[in-house]
Structure 1
Amino acid sequence: MSLLDLPNELISRIISFLDSPSPFDELLLHKPISWRNIKRPWQVDDPDDTTDGSLYWHDPLKQLSLTSRLARSLTLPILFKYAVLHPARLTSFLVFLKEQDLIHHVSSVVADVPGIYNHLHPAWWARLLNEVPIARLSIFAPPEVLARLADTPSCTSDAWAFDMGSQILRFDQSADEIRAQIDYDNLPNFLVARPWTKMTFNEGSSLLAYTTYEFFLRRTPSLLTTLHVNNSTAGNAMFANLLSFEFIAIFPFYNHVDEILKCIRKMEKLQRLFIKLCPEPDSTVLRDEIEAAGGHLDVNDPWNECETSWMLIAHTVVFLTMQGALEELHMDDVKVEGVRSTLESSLSARLQQWWAYGGEGSGLWRRKSTSPMAPMFALY
């Protein structure tokens, strides 16, 4: 008896063991690059693929889907659970999903939006959210495109110093909201188009800006800076609804981190905060960007900015302890062995009255069940 002779239910169960988490999550903690430039073991080039540019994630599943009509029909729901979309091909993407009865199997979409993009009416994101009940939407785009998406003026006068070609903006929504319809004739700001509950923002590396004169005066081309500087009404409404926020960057300036923290203080319902300011331990980005800059970078500057940023983060956590709902802080930088001790000791010293540390190397602080009032100076 062959595999395909088994009942469909058993075959589906066997196929499910080939499933795996979204490969996008593997890349989320690294410096963003345009999705179309990423080559991974699970990406398979297919000259006969006319499915609008969506990628098959899993190589074993892709190979299995090519063996027979039955195998294809049983693997497609898993293959397209995580889809990649180029907005200009949205119509063909939606047609394909409907023809293959996959609409309700897509749980997340990664949209790769180019630097030059014509915003159509109705907006691509509104059509996508109305027609595909996804729980997660991720967007790869340059800073100026993200600003246009949020309908706010961009802060990109110093963008040349940072060379941030792509950033990642990711939103999650609850299962109760995924079927809510957006009115095309009264289109809301993207930031409040849905009551997003979780936001992740990876703004990329600031390392190249350290090679410029008086680098600390440069303004990072960041969506959060834009929302803060312009006091965006939509941005403030979105912040106020978030339950979880993740900020990922590579050696941002401490004054920029302070701008990010001012946004975080507006997150009144926030329960979980994840922050990462250092590259992954196995990353070569520091070496690569020093080489790209011709060696004109004092390696002490990024680390000094990072240490100052940690102190600012501790003050904001105390603020959210007194005036917010924050329950968990995750500092991912403890993975960097050389700074782990400094980070753990400096934050614990400032948070120990109200927060308990999860143990060496965990990077997790959890709010104690009872939090006494903090001295006012700790709020600033």
Structure 2
Amino acid sequence: MKLIEYPNEILSRIISFLDTPSPFDDEILQKPKSALTPFESEAGIELTTIKASALKNLTLTCRFLRALTLPVLFKHAVLHPLLLSDFLSFLKSHDLSQHVVSVVAHVPGHYNHVHPAWWARLLNEVPATRLSIIAAPEVFAELARISLWSSDAWAFDMAFQILQLDQSPEAARMRIDYDDLPNFLVARPWQNMVVNEGSSLLAYTTYEFFLRRTPSLLTALHLNSSGPGDALFANLLSFDFVAIFPFYNHVDEVLKCVRKMRRLRRLFVKLCPEPESTWFRDEIEAAGGALDIHDPWNECETSWTLIAHSVVFLTTAHGQLCELQMDDVKVEAMRPTLEQGIGSLLKERWCYEDPASGIWRRRRVEQGSPGQG
């Protein structure tokens, strides 16, 4: 019996075994890098994994299998704003728009002069539940319509940062009015947010590094008392913050934003590099070794204490936080210090899930009103 003679349900099931999560999500905890290379492929969509290559090969066999495979093949897309029209035309011609689950947009420049805004067109025509943007800090400030405190940006040399936002399937079908364009931050009722600010390590090589202000969307939202930013924070259920070796005073500014997330259920924080990565050594070599290697780790320790205090703040009648995950426990040398420091402040209201897990959960009696525990 030939493959194409099997019922559609069986063929779809076979094809589903080649389905994979977005490769971008697998690397979102790494130092942000350029995503421009994918735009050399058809419609600006990246196909990198072995399974993705197998799916692409399957689409070349016959029209019947191509029709069954395309919705899986283009489930996760990468695009350049200047190629948006071609991207949307490609999806429309193959009836794929409703199958796109996530979109990664690399924004290498300023495109707010284009009307309607590229992000509004994308959100209106592609009901993806996840939008990730890779851009320079000043581009995010432009999207949010705020001023960025970037006079020290040269010291950090952060070419790229990442902002990832999730919405519900119902919200993904809401229409945006091009003639009354909302602020990007509140264009949809975003529920989950991931911010990856990259590495601050190079700034440690400058004189009085602790006086430098990190180029950051979150800092700008805090310092500008942004109304749309506050509205975004108030709606979030989950927040992930990744910033390798940030200064503790910058973490404090970020935590002031976190304290506005009163509906927040889950908080994820990563401040250290991956144990197996080499870029820590690479950046020190690139900087000529002109820094005290103890400084970044000291900043981390202070930041962990500040995080624990903010968790305690949200463990009140006004907060709904019930899970804290500290990814830095993967750094074995720092794990005892982190676990002891966090645990001593959370005390009896929280319990540590498992040894070396990095996950603290709020005790059930603390999650509801009296009598619900």
Per the TM superposition, whether the score is higher than 0.5 is: yes
- Other structure's SS at 1:352 match: helix
The 3-state SS of whatever aligns with 1:366 is strand
Match of 2:83 among 85, 89, 104: 89
Matched to 2:46, the amino acid is L
Question: 1:86-138: per-residue Cα shift (whole Å, max 9, x none)?
Answer: 11111111111111010110011000100344541110111111111110000
With structure 1 as the length reference, what TM-score do the two structures score?
Answer: 0.93
Partner of 2:7 in structure 1? 7
- CA offset at residue 36 of structure 1? 2.1
Confirm or deny: 8 A CA contact 2:36 2:80 kept in the other structure: no
Alignment-derived partner of residue 370 in structure 2 = none
Q: Deviations over 1:353-374 (max 9, x none)?
A: 21011121111101112239xx
Equivalent residue number for residue 352 of structure 1: 347
Q: 1:364 aligns with which of 333, 337, 359?
A: 359
SS in structure 1 of the partner of residue 30 of structure 2: coil
1:190 maps to 2:184: yes
8 Å Cα contact 1:353/1:371 also seen in 2: no
Distance across 1 between alignment mates of 2:335 and 2:107: 36
Alpha-carbon distance in structure 1 between the residues aligned to 2:246 and 2:358: 19
Q: What are the within-5 Å matches in structure 2 for residues 22-37 of structure 1?
A: 22-37=22-37
- For residue 127 of structure 2, the aligned residue among 133, 149, 171 is 133
Q: Aligned to 1:295, which of 289, 293, 297?
A: 289
CA displacement 1:172-230 (0-9 Å, x = unmatched): 01122111111111100000000100110000000000000000000000100110111
Gaps of 5+ in 1: 38-42, 373-380
Q: Distance in 1 between matches of 2:36 and 2:182?
A: 29
Note the 1:134-213 alignment, pairs <5 A: 134-213=128-207
**Which amino acid counterpart does residue 241 of structure 1 have in structure 2?**
N
Hey, what does 1:327 align to over in structure 2? 322
Q: Deviations over 1:146-196 (max 9, x none)?
A: 000011011111110001000000000112211111111110000000010
Cα distance in 1 for residues equivalent to 2:62 and 2:47 = 17
Match of 2:246 among 229, 249, 252: 252
Counterpart residue identity of residue 36, structure 1:
L
1:71 offset after TM fit, Å? 2.3
After superposing on structure 2, the runs of 4+ consecutive aligned residues of structure 1 that deviate more than 6 Å are none
From 229, 238, 241, the counterpart of 1:235:
229
CA contact (8 A) 2:328 2:335 kept: yes
TM-score by length of 2: 0.94
Structure 2 residue identity aligned to 1:331: M
Once residues 2 and 295 of structure 1 are traced to their aligned partners in structure 2, the CA distance between those partners, rounded to angstroms, is 63
In 1, Cα distance between equivalents of 2:145 and 2:205: 31
Give the match's secondary structure for 1:52: helix
Report SS of the residue matched to 2:364. coil
Tell whether 2:52 aligns with 1:61: no
- Residue 307 of structure 2, aligned match among 292, 313, 316: 313
Identity of aligned residues (%): 65
Deviation, 1:56, is 2.8
Q: What CA distance in whole angstroms lies between the structure 1 residues aligned with 2:333 and 2:57?
A: 43
Task: Extract unaligned runs of 5+ from structure 2.
Answer: 368-373
Q: Distance in 1 between matches of 2:113 and 2:361?
A: 43
> Are 2:73 and 1:79 aligned?
yes
Q: Secondary structure, in 3 states, of the residue corresponding to 1:370?
A: helix
SS in 2 for 1:365: strand
Distance 1:281 1:5 in 2: 49
1:341 is paired with a residue whose SS is helix
Contact 2:239–2:264 under 8 Å retained in 1: yes
**In terms of mean alpha carbon deviation, does 226-235 or 64-73 score higher?**
64-73
- Using the TM superposition, name which of 164-173 and 276-285 deviates more: 276-285
Q: Which residue pairs with 1:377 in the alignment?
A: none
Quick one: which amino acid aligns to residue 9 of structure 1?
E
Equivalenced residue count is 363
Secondary structure class of the residue paired with 1:213: coil
CA-based RMSD: 1.5
Residue equivalent to 1:375: none
Aligned residues of 1:53 and 1:84 also touching (Cα < 8 A): yes
Answer with 158-167 or 352-361: which moved more.
Answer: 352-361
